[in-house]
Amino acid sequence: MQTAEIRRRFLEHFAQRDHTVVPSASLISPDPSLLFTVAGMVPFIPYLTGREPAPFPRATSVQKCVRTLDIEEVGKTTRHGTFFQMNGNFSFGDYFKEGAIQYAWELITGKIEDGGLGFDPDTIWATVYLDDDEGADAWHRIAGLPKERIQRLGKKDNYWHTGAPGPGGPCSEIYVDRGAQFGPDGGPAVDLAGDRFLEIWNLVFMQYELDEVRSKEEFRVLGELPKKNIDTGMGLERVAYLLQGVENMYEIDEVSPVLRRAAELAGVTYGRDHESDVRLRVVADHVRSGLMLIGDGVTPGNEGGGYILRRLLRRAVRSMKLLGIDEATLPELLPVSRDAMSASYPELATDFDRISAVAYAEEEAFRRTLSAGTTLFDTAVTQAKAAGTPALSGDQAFSLHDTYGFPIDVTLEMAAEQGVTVDEEGFRALMKEQRERARADARAKRTGSVDVLAYRRLLAEHGPTDWQAYDTLRTDSR
């Protein structure tokens, strides 16, 4: 089943159950505390927290998401993309646990000919929070899941809150057993990070009012919320990879054409060599993320979202170089990604002149400094090894960044390949210094009050610049 068809079925399923279909918000987060939209719930935060009354009691969407926190997993696990789409259904004080479980079950196990996704009920497992008897009972009663396929996990995995006083509650996750060839028995509880039991859908039950929130696992429950909400997120690419009978999300219809084209350009056969397979998957993922981010108006730069886009594009370019390609690669790959994505996002085709100009210029800028930077890097590594300190200094990483445009994770990746480490802390301190200098310069040029306003506006537009710290509002459950 094509990814676009799964998306259509999802929206149709919930539209038939009185949900208002809401188009995806931009990847640039509508919530000012986040740089990018990291989950389907982000555009609904005002309604979920009760800050604003919801204009509808039920909603459904397929939300474009970017999670840079998952960048290291890309290509290594079967299930993490930097860009992905989250199908969601939401209830604002309307139906609760039982409704959410019933609707999810009907869609997953509904017959293909009836508009469902056709999963074999015997392969489905669910997790619930430790003391969530209600949730466990509903899975048993409504879905008929045997008790041994309903597993209980702690706060780390099955509790959701925003990290601040406000709404929170247990969640319940749906897993698909891919079969004994992918790992040991025992269900998701023993194979959370493995690839046998694949997490496809998270149902969050916003049930309690919390305060004294100290960490993911330390908080106080004040009592029940007067209006309980449902927030769910199903990974579209994960479901697609299962339904398309492929091994991972980089091999689905929306991603694999880029992977295949990259392999063709490099003259390698995908599936023969682990290292080159990972690189091809990274390329396919990052090219798609670049396309989608530029499509939503992000441009490469040294701060905030622009810096993340830069990292993704440059890492893709460098991965292609490692695969042996010395020519510009984005002009070969980006149109392929556009063609794979424009069934769901027609604006990518109509806006492609602009999008491609931004991407190609970024590749050109990087290619101009890549070999000089690589020479500097090699010299630094040789010196470090000779000095018996297998580490690059923060200074060296900073000049690679500042003079040669090497994003830190390109430097980190190159260092790892050489078996040396990098003083990341030193690097970040220098970055911070530079930022502060730039701000002071800007301040000197303007009058004080105007400057504060401009900075606030920037912050509202782009979020804080420390991308790692602000990547996940929805607390990550890895």
Instruction: Classify residue 163 as left (phi > 0), alpha (psi -120 to 50) or beta.
Output: left
Q: Is 233 in the site for ligand ATP (CB under 6 A)?
A: yes
Minimum Å gap between C-beta 360 and ligand ATP is: 27
**Using the rule CB under 6 A, is 251 a contact of ligand ATP?**
no
Kindly tell me which of 118 and 301 has the beta carbon lying closer to ligand ATP.
118
3-state secondary structure of 47: helix
Q: Which amino acid is at 52?
A: E
- Give the number of other CB atoms < 10 A from CB of residue 138: 24
Site for ligand ATP in 18-77 (CB under 6 A): 67, 70
Q: How far is the CB of 176 from ligand ATP (least distance, A)?
A: 10
Given ligand ATP, Mg ion, none, residue 474, with its beta carbon under 5 to 8 Å by kind, binds: ligand ATP
Residues in 190-209 at the binding interface with ligand ATP, rule: CB under 6 A:
199-202
Question: Which range, of 135-143, 228-236, 304-312, 341-349, touches ligand ATP by CB under 6 A?
Answer: 228-236
294 binds, among ligand ATP, Mg ion, none (CB under 5 to 8 A by kind): none
- Is 471 a binding residue for ligand ATP by CB under 6 A? The answer is no
With 0-12 / 13-18 / 19 or more C-beta atoms within 10 angstroms meaning exposed / middle / buried, residue 294 is buried
Under rule CB under 6 A, residue 285 binds ligand ATP: no
Helix (H), strand (E) at residue 125 = strand 124-129
- For ligand ATP, which residue of 75, 81, 407, 463 counts as binding (CB under 6 A)? 81
Q: List, in order, residues 6 or more apart from 354 with CB less than 8 Å away.
A: 294
Which residues are registered as beta bridge partners of 174?
A: 126, 201
**In this complex, which beta carbon is closest to Mg ion, that of residue 199 or of residue 296?**
199
Residue 336: CB partners within 8 Å, gap ≥ 6?
257, 258, 261
Residue 85's binding partner out of ligand ATP, Mg ion, none, with CB under 5 to 8 Å set by partner kind: none
DSSP letters spanning 345-397: -THHHHTHHHHHHHHHHHHHHHHHHHHHHHHHHHHHHHHHHHTT--EE-HHHH
Joined together, the tokens standing for residue 34 give: 């986040």
Of the candidate residues 25, 42, 45, 86, the single one contacting ligand ATP (CB under 6 A): 86
Q: How many residues bind Mg ion (CB under 5 A)?
A: 5
235 binds, among ligand ATP, Mg ion, none (CB under 5 to 8 A by kind): ligand ATP
CB of residue 235 to ligand ATP, shortest distance in Å = 2
Nearer to Mg ion, 199 or 231 (CB): 199
Amino acid at 49: T
In angstroms, the CA 348 to CA 456 distance is: 31
The whole-angstrom separation of Cα 238 and Cα 80 is 9
How many residues does this entry show for the chain?
Answer: 478
Which of 235/463 has CB closer to ligand ATP? 235
Say which entry of ligand ATP, Mg ion, none residue 255 contacts (CB below 5 to 8 A, set by partner kind): none
* Residue 477 touching ligand ATP (CB under 6 A): yes
Candidates 202, 229, 337, 396: give the one binding Mg ion (CB under 5 A). 202
Q: Which two tokens stand for residue 131?
A: 């003391």
What is the rounded radius of gyration, in angstroms, for the C-alpha atoms of the chain? 23
CB of 133 to ligand ATP, least distance (A): 22
238 binds ligand ATP (CB under 6 A): yes
Separation CA 273–CA 289 (nearest Å) = 24
154 alpha-carbon distance from chain centroid = 23
Tell me if 172 contacts Mg ion by CB under 5 A. no
List the structure tokens of 407.
Answer: 């994003």
Residue 66 DSSP SS3: strand
The CA-based angle 37-172-91, given to 5 degrees, is: 60
Stretch that binds Mg ion, among 215-223, 405-413, 415-423, 468-476 (CB under 5 A): 468-476
Q: Find, among 18, 91, 33, the residue nearest to 462 by Cα.
A: 33
Cβ proximity to ligand ATP, 42 vs 370, nearer residue: 42
Q: Which of residues 111-130 bind ligand ATP (CB under 6 A)?
A: none
Helix axes 330-341, 304-322, angle to 10 degrees: 110
For position 84 contacting ligand ATP by CB under 6 A, the verdict is yes
Q: Closest CB to ligand ATP among 96 and 250?
A: 250
Partner from ligand ATP, Mg ion, none contacting 87, C-beta within 5 to 8 A by type: none
The partner in contact with residue 75, picked from ligand ATP, Mg ion, none with C-beta cut-offs of 5 to 8 angstroms by kind, is none
Choice between 232 and 319, CB closer to ligand ATP: 232
Number of residues interacting with ligand ATP: please give it, by CB under 6 A: 20
Phi, psi of 318, deg, nearest 5:
-65, -35
Residues lying near Mg ion in the complex (CB under 5 A): 199, 202, 476-478
Residues lying near ligand ATP in the complex (CB under 6 A): 67, 70, 79-81, 84, 86, 199-202, 233-235, 237-238, 474, 476-478
